Amino acid sequence: MPDVMLRHSFGTDGFALDVAFRAPAEGVTALFGPSGCGKSTILAAIAGLLRPREGRIALDGTVLLDTARGIAVAPERRRCAVVFQDARLFPHLSVETNLRYGLRRAPRDAEGPGVDEVVALLGIGHLLARRPGRLSGGERQRVALGRALLARPRLLLMDEPLAALDAARRAEVLPFLARLRDAACLPILYVTHALDEVDALADELVLIDAGRVVAAGPVEALTARTDLPLAGRRDAGVLLTCTVAEAAAGLTRLAFPGGMLTTTLHTGPAGTRVRLRLRARDIAVAIAEPRGLSTQNILPATLAGIMPSGDADEVFLSLALGPTTILARVTRVSVARLGLTPGMPLWALIKAVTFDHRAVPAHIADCDARLGR
């Protein structure tokens, strides 16, 4: 379990970094924040490529850095593999030699998937003999993922691995990232400023702004809070993990605790778990059960609270659907017109076509079972 505390300052009156957080022993912890908030600096310090003024970094009880005790393990002995934004494949080596670079230097007793397994996982078998210069951006990044995983690291660090790619290449690589996350059984720290990557990949979220941790916790829990910078975004909304109940007639029915959603997603067979972002601005409410609407999802709910949205004319409605809470963004005028008060029974209206079609399978944390722990 990575345990990180860092203090660093750039220049004399420059920007100061002061963060502390923990990440679970398995799955993706996203460090999310605007450009220049210090998240890449945190990653460089964990990898050992930057020496912070003050800090302590431990991994499963192994201290990698402790400035108070004068401990600083060299990067080459930290076993923290990095996937860089610009891939950084060695141009003079073939794809296969690149993949084996870290593996050849890993301790003999280090466990992890083999070359064939990783090659199959990332779909790069046809590239092995090529040089990195002859790969597309997406292929390069997939090879970089494989090279990092094959170094048999104890911690995978990803520094905006999709940021240098265009939308099509991002969509190509994202499912491979999800597969790697599920196969790796490792803690992964994932730096990004793209919310869709958080939605697709992250289990835990560390929100960073101006060098400080604003909030940290499970992604679903943080997206339901209206007091965080996340809520100020136009695409703010609750992340909901659902299970495919039925896929037929062009519609997929997704079950979640407290209800069922009808969508047009193509997510896979019944039983597949997916995570969806229910954007607050896409959800409307009615005080009586509406009739004659095209909207497929008309769900009974209870108004749990009315919260400011950061915009003077809009508020968030927190809606309880059984144990699940979702957010709807409506105007203050509507609140007054409908006389909305907490505790009222309401109907939540969600169009079936509103969901992002790039949803990737949700992470199932089952490493303990798979590795017999």
Q: What is the binding site for another protein (CB under 8 A)?
A: 47-49, 74-82, 84, 86, 88, 90-92, 101-102, 105-106, 131-134, 147-148, 151, 157
Minimum distance from residue 81 beta carbon to another protein (Å) = 6
b/e per residue, 349-366, with b = 16+ CB within 10 A? bbbbebbeeebbbbbeee
- Which of 44/265 has CB closer to another protein? 44
Minimum distance from residue 67 beta carbon to another protein (Å) = 20
Minimum distance from residue 83 beta carbon to another protein (Å) = 9
Minimum distance from residue 65 beta carbon to another protein (Å) = 14
d(C-alpha 159, C-alpha 144), whole Å: 12
**One-letter-per-residue 3-state SS of 123-166:** CCHHHCCCCHHHCCHHHHHHHHHHHHHHCCCCEEEEECCCCCCC
- Which of 98/324 has CB closer to another protein? 98
- Which of 75/175 has CB closer to another protein? 75
- Which of 113/132 has CB closer to another protein? 132
Question: What residue type is 219 in one-letter code?
Answer: V
Minimum distance from residue 75 beta carbon to another protein (Å) = 5
Minimum distance from residue 56 beta carbon to another protein (Å) = 20
Joined tokens for residue 171: 């969509």
Joined tokens for residue 65: 């850095």
CA quadruple 322, 325, 331, 337: dihedral, nearest 10: 20
Looking from the CA of 3 toward its CB, the CA atoms found within 13 Å total 9
Joined tokens for residue 228: 């965080």
CA end-to-end span of the chain: 15
- Which of 93/178 has CB closer to another protein? 93
Question: What residue type is 161 in one-letter code?
Answer: P
Q: Which residue, 345, 281, 341, is CA-closest to 305?
A: 341
The secondary structure of residue 60, as a DSSP letter, is T
- Which of 38/102 has CB closer to another protein? 102
Minimum distance from residue 107 beta carbon to another protein (Å) = 9
Minimum distance from residue 225 beta carbon to another protein (Å) = 34
Question: What residue type is 20 in one-letter code?
Answer: A
- Which of 38/132 has CB closer to another protein? 132
- Which of 112/237 has CB closer to another protein? 112
Beta bridge partners of 246: 253
Helix and strand counts by DSSP (H, E) for the chain: 9, 20
